Structure 1
Amino acid sequence: MYVRTIYMTGDPANVDGFAEAVRTKGRELLAAQPGFRGMGLFADRELGKLLVGSWWEDEASRQASDEALRDRRAEMMAPFAQTVTIDNWEAPVARRAQDQGPGAGFRLVRMDVEPGDIDLLVTTFRDTALPRVQKVPGLAGISLLVDRDHGRAAVGALFTDHDALAASRGAIAAIRGETTAKARVTTRSLEEFDVVLATAVPHT
């Protein structure tokens, strides 16, 4: 699986209106592209941040969709986004959640890793961290994303509600500390968001 993320900041007063446009019109545009496998839309209403993640069956589908939607995407983002960062990822470990909506919570961890250590990170996350994380109450889904060319990684975790998200912080922090040390990874940022939409398209 492959993922494209779009990280936007803008006026907090405009978050909900723009998020609704992405949830409806944006999702329709993505769903019409070959290889589309789902999307997540996450908001920080207090600071004015939106994160959109789209999932693709293969790298070619992700790239083709980017080329097909670039102009429409820029037009749609213009009323809200004052800053935009677009990243492309491989998802070597993905435990996709059942559909989640308002009321659910999302945590994003960004990491730096030497390109030569990415396979070590994938193995450590899959074999050591994941079995422990999946026992944390309220976890609805979790994925490890990697960018082998630039030495970056991210972990996104969905929780069924904000109480579960908050309650998980201590346990997840301990697992994160042990995993990053073993995999020789540096944590760059830690953020939490409200879930606007998180949906997966089943394979047919």
Structure 2
Amino acid sequence: MYVRTIYMTGDPAKLDGVAEAVRTEGRELLSAQPGFRGMGLFADRELGKLLVGSWWEDESSRRASDEALSKRRAEMMAPFAQTVAIDNWEAPIARRAEELGPGACFRLARLDVAPGDVDLLVTTFRDTALPRVQKVPGLAGMSLLVDREHGRAAVGALYTDRDALVASRGAVAAIRGESETKARVTTRSLEEFEVILATAVPHA
């Protein structure tokens, strides 16, 4: 599968209105596009950050949807977004354990990886990191996204509630540190969000 992420920052006071528009109209527009497989919407209300991820069956569907929706998307985001970063990814691994209820949270780690080491990262994540992280209480889903051309990756993890997210930090940090050495990657940033919407995504 393939993923498009949109990362917006802006005035926290204007976040909720745009988040609701993306959750309703945005989801409806995406759902009408061929090849659409799911979406996530995540917010940091304190700092004023919105992250949108849309999942696609193939790269051509992702590209076509971008062309079809870019104008309306920009209009929808304009009341909030002062900065917008759009990235495209391949999703070699995606696991969704259960449906999420109110209060769910999301952690995102951005990684630097040499293009030649992407397959090593995928193997290390699948065979070493994922089986251990899946034992962490409260984990509700996890995915690995890679950008082979630019040497980047991202790991997203869903948790059932904030208490589970907070309690997981130590154990996940240890797994991250060991896996980083083995996979020859560097963690560039680490962020946590509230989950506004996370629809089911088929396993990859």
Counterpart CA distance in 1 for 2:107 and 2:25 is 25
Question: Does the 8 Å contact 1:6/1:87 carry over to 2?
Answer: yes
**Which ranges of structure 2 fall in alignment gaps of 5 or more residues?**
none
Pairs aligned (count):
203
Using the TM superposition, give the Cα deviation of residue 96 of structure 1 relative to its aligned residue in structure 2, in angstroms: 2.4
Question: Does the 8 Å contact 2:94/2:202 carry over to 1?
Answer: no
Q: Deviations over 1:93-128 (max 9, x none)?
A: 110244435300000000000000000000000000
Aligned match of 1:70: 70
Paired residue secondary structure (2:176): helix
Question: Does the 8 Å contact 1:38/1:201 carry over to 2?
Answer: yes
Aligned match of 1:26: 26
Aligned match of 2:83: 83
Paired residue secondary structure (1:29): helix
Give the 3 Å change call, closer, same or farther, for CA 97–59 of structure 1 in structure 2.
farther
Counterpart CA distance in 2 for 1:97 and 1:129 is 16
Aligned match of 1:6: 6
Aligned match of 2:166: 166
Using the TM superposition, give the Cα deviation of residue 153 of structure 1 relative to its aligned residue in structure 2, in angstroms: 0.1
Question: Does the 8 Å contact 1:129/1:179 carry over to 2?
Answer: yes
Q: Deviations over 1:141-181 (max 9, x none)?
A: 00000000000000000000000000000000000000011
Using the TM superposition, give the Cα deviation of residue 48 of structure 1 relative to its aligned residue in structure 2, in angstroms: 0.1
Give the 3 Å change call, closer, same or farther, for CA 127–201 of structure 1 in structure 2.
closer
Aligned match of 1:132: 132
Counterpart CA distance in 2 for 1:119 and 1:197 is 30
Relative to the length of structure 1, the TM-score reads 0.97
Matches of residues 31-180 of structure 1 in structure 2 within 5 Å? 31-180=31-180
- Report the aligned-residue RMSD: 1.2
Counterpart CA distance in 1 for 2:111 and 2:202 is 29
Give the 3 Å change call, closer, same or farther, for CA 201–113 of structure 1 in structure 2.
closer
Counterpart CA distance in 1 for 2:123 and 2:138 is 24
**Which ranges of structure 1 fall in alignment gaps of 5 or more residues?**
none
Using the TM superposition, give the Cα deviation of residue 15 of structure 1 relative to its aligned residue in structure 2, in angstroms: 1.2
Counterpart CA distance in 2 for 1:176 and 1:54 is 25
Question: Does the 8 Å contact 2:124/2:183 carry over to 1?
Answer: yes
Question: Does the 8 Å contact 1:104/1:161 carry over to 2?
Answer: yes
Question: Does the 8 Å contact 1:101/1:198 carry over to 2?
Answer: no
Give the 3 Å change call, closer, same or farther, for CA 153–202 of structure 1 in structure 2.
closer
Using the TM superposition, give the Cα deviation of residue 16 of structure 1 relative to its aligned residue in structure 2, in angstroms: 1.2
Identity across matched positions, percent: 85
Relative to the length of structure 2, the TM-score reads 0.97
Q: Residue type matched to 1:110 in 2?
A: R
Shifted more, 12-21 versus 145-154: the winner is: 12-21
Q: Deviations over 1:59-113 (max 9, x none)?
A: 1111110111011111111111000000000000110244435300000000000
Counterpart CA distance in 2 for 1:201 and 1:118 is 22
Counterpart CA distance in 1 for 2:85 and 2:99 is 25
